[in-house]
Structure formats: structure tokens, C-alpha cells
Amino acid sequence: MLLRDRVAVVTGAGAGIGRAIAQALSERGARVAVVDIDEARARETARLLAGTGGQALALEADTSRSGDVDRAVTAACEALGPLEIMVNNAGVLDGYWSVDEMDEALWRRVVEINLTGVFLGCKRALREMLPRGRGRIINMASAAGLGGTGGGAAYVAAKHGVVGLTRQMAVAYSGRGITVNAICPGVVLTEFRAHSREILGPGTPDMSGRGIAVSDEQVRAITPAGRRGTAEEVAAAACFLASDGAAYITGHALAVDGGWRAR
Ligand code: NAD
């Protein structure tokens, strides 16, 4: 129970990697606020956590809206206690469009969720953490935040932005007791494409067959480990960064990608 009674907020925790992080933090003793734009998914994650003896709270919020983020973090602190761990994980895929084919509205929405949403989560978390002089912020970037593949123009640019934001914040806040790190997963099997289409709304192009890591053969070709990662493997990295053992690690962009970016 390495994280006993620590209070965590995990955004995008209604599914996939965020749900696995919420579960892993809870298994290690943390009290977890499960935030998602889809309330039913958030409730299901909270139910799973409660089912294994954890204390959890489901909260509906669109992380690209500052008012939603503020309400969610306020509710989490009131119900669970002072915020120690903020995981800014919510994100959407952009359909792999390059600049000439991407329309401006899609660009804006993807950047708003994947980059501005992380900024808003960090800013709100700092309001809780700075006065107490302690905290862990973990931002979900991607292998697409370390190179020019793994998404389209908006996704790759936003994820590079998350890595840059993380580094700037590490410099600014590590002397004040707060570590700030990013995780850069490679290919992980989730419902990311379907959820992204649903959140981006009508008119969003079908993304099912697009990208460089759709088939098993493509995954093997780019990933030295020869397979997709699991959400649990990403969650293990998040738990480590949240733990006392990672107190001197800050400003790091941790690839959890089976060696993809080591090539
Ligand atoms: P997922 O779709 O399974 O889960 C994402 C969750 O975030 C969903 O429940 C969705 O409803 C929620 N969400 C999306 N936009 C939101 C918003 N504005 N406000 C609140 N909640 C919102 O996807 P996933 O694969 O688990 O992705 C999680 C994160 O991991 C994303 O940031 C993604 O970019 C990143 N990532 C995923 C992969 C992968 O291969 N799956 C690889 C690298 C990085």
C-alpha cells in the first residue's frame, strides 16, 4: 500500500489507460476521483474501485473547460481530502490527418482537449499543491510527443506540447515540492479511436483503418518488443512516478513504448 490514503484525481479515467491508472492507484491505497466527460464510464470505473475495497468518486467533467476542471477538483478535495496526485490523462485522437487535409475546427478541438486540458488540470492542481508544498503531477503525453509519428498534425503537436509544458513546470515547481513528469506510451490496445470519434462529434472522419500501428504486423514493425503494451503497464509507470521512490524524478518524459522511440 505504497500510496495509502493519498488523494488522486485521474482525468479520462472512465476507460482504457486512465481506468487502469485509477485501479492501480486504488490498489496501492490511494483515494481516487475518477473524472471523465462520459459520466457512465466514470461511474463504472468508480464502481470497479469500490468493488475491490477502494474509496472512489465519479465526476463528470470536460477537461478542456476550466469551470468543469475547477468543479471536479473542488469536489474531489471536499470528498476525499487534500490533493496529492494529479494525473492529466484525458485525450482524443485526431484521425491521423496531416496539415493539408485537417480542418481548423478539428485542430482546435484536439489541441483544446489534449494540450489546453492538461494546462487547466495542472493549473487547478497547483492551487491545491503549492500552499502545502507537495504534490505529484503526471501528464499523459505519447510516443507521438517524442517524434513525428503516432498521430496526425494536431495530436503530434499537442503531445509535444504536453512534454514541453511538463519540462517548463518541472523547472518552475520542483523547488517547491512538486514533481511534474510525462508518460509517453507507445501502442496500447484501448477503445481510443471509437471514444475519440464519439467525443469529437458528427462529421469526424472514420479513423478505424488509419495510422501506422493498426495491424499486428505494423505494430511488430515499429515496436522492438514486438507487441502492443497494456494499459496496466502504463499504469505501473504512473504509480512509480506518484510514489515516494520517484521524489527526485521531475521533468522526465518516460517512454513506455516497447522500445519504439529507442530506434
Ligand atoms: P480511451 O478513449 O480508452 O480513454 C480516454 C478517456 O478519456 C475516455 O473515457 C474519454 O471519455 C475521456 N476523455 C476524452 N476527452 C475528454 C475530456 N475532454 N474530458 C474528460 N474526459 C475525456 O483512450 P486511451 O487509449 O486510454 O487514452 C488515454 C490517454 O493516453 C490519452 O491522452 C491518449 O492520448 C494517451 N495515449 C494512448 C495511446 C494508445 O495507444 N491507446 C498511446 C499513447 C498515448
Which CATH entry fits the domain spanning 7-256: 3.30.2350.10, 3.40.50.720, 3.30.70.20, 3.30.420.40?
Answer: 3.40.50.720
Looking at residues 4-30, what average pLDDT do you find? 98
Q: How far is the CA of 12 from the centre of ligand 1 (A)?
A: 6
Q: What residues are in contact with ligand 1 under a 6 Å CB criterion?
A: 11-12, 14-18, 36-38, 41, 61-64, 89-92, 113, 117, 140, 142, 185, 187-188, 190-192, 195, 199
Q: Minimal CA–CA distance to 199: which of 73, 16, 70? A: 16
- Please state, in angstroms and rounded to a whole number, the distance separating the CA atoms of residues 8 and 22: 8
Weakest-pLDDT range from 29-43, 165-179, 201-215, 219-233: 201-215
Place of cell 468508480: 46
Looking at residues 167-179, what average pLDDT do you find? 98
CB contact at 8 A, 45 and 56: yes
Question: Could you count the other beta carbons within 10 Å of the beta carbon of residue 104?
Answer: 8
Instruction: Out of 10, 37, 227, give the residue to mutate to test ligand 1, the one with the largest number of ligand atoms within 8 Å of its CB.
Output: 37
Q: How far is the CA of 184 from the centre of ligand 1 (A)?
A: 13
Residue closest by Cα to atom 36 of ligand 1: 142
Pick the catalytic residue from 96, 155, 173, 248. 155
- H helix and E strand count, the chain: 9, 7
Looking at residues 116-133, what average pLDDT do you find? 99
Whether residue 205 has pLDDT greater than 80 = no
> Is 155 noted as a catalytic residue in this protein?
yes
Q: Domains of the chain: which residue ranges?
A: 7-256
> Residue 6 has what pLDDT?
98
Percentages helix, strand, coil for the chain (3-state, rounded to 5) are 50, 15, 35
Cα 230 from chain centre = 14
What pairs with residue 83 in β-bridges? 7
- Please state, in angstroms and rounded to a whole number, the distance separating the CA atoms of residues 23 and 189: 17
Q: How far is the CA of 175 from the centre of ligand 1 (A)?
A: 30
CB contact at 8 A, 113 and 63: yes
pLDDT band at 190 (very low <50, low <70, confident <90, very high): very high
State which ligand 1 atom lies nearest to the alpha carbon of 141: 44
Whether residue 202 has pLDDT greater than 90 = no
Looking at residues 25-35, what average pLDDT do you find? 98
